[in-house]
């Protein structure tokens, strides 16, 4: 059965060229293409479904990453197809849960390989990104965005403390802790404290700060 795919990019010429490339493969079907996030959300609300989404980072009036959770809930694997190649941009995409990351400067074969890889349940990122992932360099850097106070709160969250308990330990009100946690979630691109705790424990942040 052919891989059903949607293309989300706000450049008409790029969409046209990529659609031509994809439709030249009998095992890929372009189910729909969109120029903005609003159109994608409308399509999803109307029951739109596909296997894979090729998603640009920069869309009209929004960051394409905001669509990732919704696309994933719709059962799609997500390949970020973008010109954004800085470490922090790739890290943001990984944190959001994309399954593949391909630069628009890549050869067409690389795009096709990414589509097939994620459809089969694998992940595909550029070689230099995989090296940094293996060493933990990219995800460790995620915490660089946080203030010293926010890092303190993350360590308490990782230890399983409630907002009230964290406030008591740091001399802060429960509401202040809640506001800090909201900022932490926004900066890390996460949706709940469980994800914060998991990331902190996986990356050894608690041990690192305790040792310091």
pTM of the entire predicted model: 0.64
The predicted structure's pLDDT at residue 163: 92
Is the same domain home to 53 and 72?
yes
Q: What is the pLDDT of residues 145-159, one digit of tens each?
A: 788 889 889 989 988
Is the same domain home to 55 and 116?
yes
Last residue of a domain, one of 100, 135, 170: 135
Is the same domain home to 119 and 168?
no
Q: How confident is the model at residue 129 (pLDDT cuts 50, 70, 90)?
A: low
The predicted structure's pLDDT at residue 204: 73
Q: How confident is the model at residue 209 (pLDDT cuts 50, 70, 90)?
A: very low
Bigger pLDDT: 128 or 63?
63
Is the same domain home to 87 and 44?
yes
CATH of the domain at 167: 1.10.10.10
**Is the confidence at residue 95, as pLDDT, over 90?**
no
Is the same domain home to 13 and 96?
yes
The predicted structure's pLDDT at residue 181: 94
- Which whole number is the average pLDDT over 79-98? 81
Last residue of a domain, one of 135, 165, 180: 135
Concatenated DSSP letters for the chain?
-PEEEEEE-S-HHHHHHHHHHHHTSTTEEEEEEESSHHHHHHHHHTT---SEEEE-SEETTEEGGGGHHHHHHTT-EEEEEES--SHHHHHHHHHHT-SEEEETTS-HHHHHHHHHHHHTT--B--HHHHHHHHHTHHHHGGGGGS-HHHHHHHHHHHTT--HHHHHHHHT--HHHHHHHHHHHHHHHT-SSHHHHHHHHHHTTHHHHHHH-
- Which whole number is the average pLDDT over 55-74? 90
Q: What is the pLDDT of residues 15-47, one digit of tens each?
A: 999 999 998 899 999 999 999 999 999 999 999
Structural domain that includes position 131: 3-135
Is the same domain home to 146 and 75?
no
**Is the confidence at residue 65, as pLDDT, over 60?**
yes
- Which whole number is the average pLDDT over 162-175? 92
Is the same domain home to 98 and 152?
no
Q: How confident is the model at residue 71 (pLDDT cuts 50, 70, 90)?
A: very high
- Which whole number is the average pLDDT over 154-177? 92
Last residue of a domain, one of 87, 117, 135: 135
Q: What is the mean pLDDT of the chain?
A: 86
Bigger pLDDT: 212 or 91?
91
Bigger pLDDT: 49 or 199?
49
Number of folded domains that form the chain: 2
Is the same domain home to 35 and 55?
yes
CATH of the domain at 59: 3.40.50.2300
Is the same domain home to 131 and 169?
no
Is the same domain home to 128 and 176?
no
Is the same domain home to 105 and 160?
no
Over pLDDT 70: what percentage of the chain?
89
Over pLDDT 90: what percentage of the chain?
48
The predicted structure's pLDDT at residue 60: 80
Is the same domain home to 117 and 183?
no
């Amino acid at each position: 059965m052919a891989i059903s795919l949607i293309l989300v990019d706000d450049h008409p010429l790029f969409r046209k060229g990529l659609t031509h490339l994809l439709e030249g493969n009998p095992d890929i079907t372009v189910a729909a293409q969109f120029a903005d996030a609003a159109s994608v959300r409308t399509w999803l609300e109307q029951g739109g479904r596909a296997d894979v989404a090729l998603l640009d980072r920069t869309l009209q009036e929004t960051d394409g990453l905001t669509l990732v959770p919704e696309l994933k809930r719709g059962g799609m694997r997500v390949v970020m197809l973008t010109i954004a190649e800085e470490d922090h941009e790739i890290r943001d995409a990984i944190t959001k849960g994309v399954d593949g990351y391909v630069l628009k400067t890549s050869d067409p074969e690389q795009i096709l390989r990414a589509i097939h890889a994620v459809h089969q349940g694998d992940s595909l990122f550029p070689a230099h990104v995989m090296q940094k992932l293996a060493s933990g360099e990219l995800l460790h850097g995620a915490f660089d965005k946080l203030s010293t106070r926010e890092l303190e709160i993350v360590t308490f969250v990782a230890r399983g403390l409630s907002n009230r308990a964290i406030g008591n330990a740091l001399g802060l009100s429960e509401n202040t802790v809640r506001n800090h946690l909201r900022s932490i979630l926004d900066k890390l691109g996460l949706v709940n404290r469980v994800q914060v705790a998991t990331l902190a424990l996986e990356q050894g942040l608690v041990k690192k700060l305790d040792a310091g």
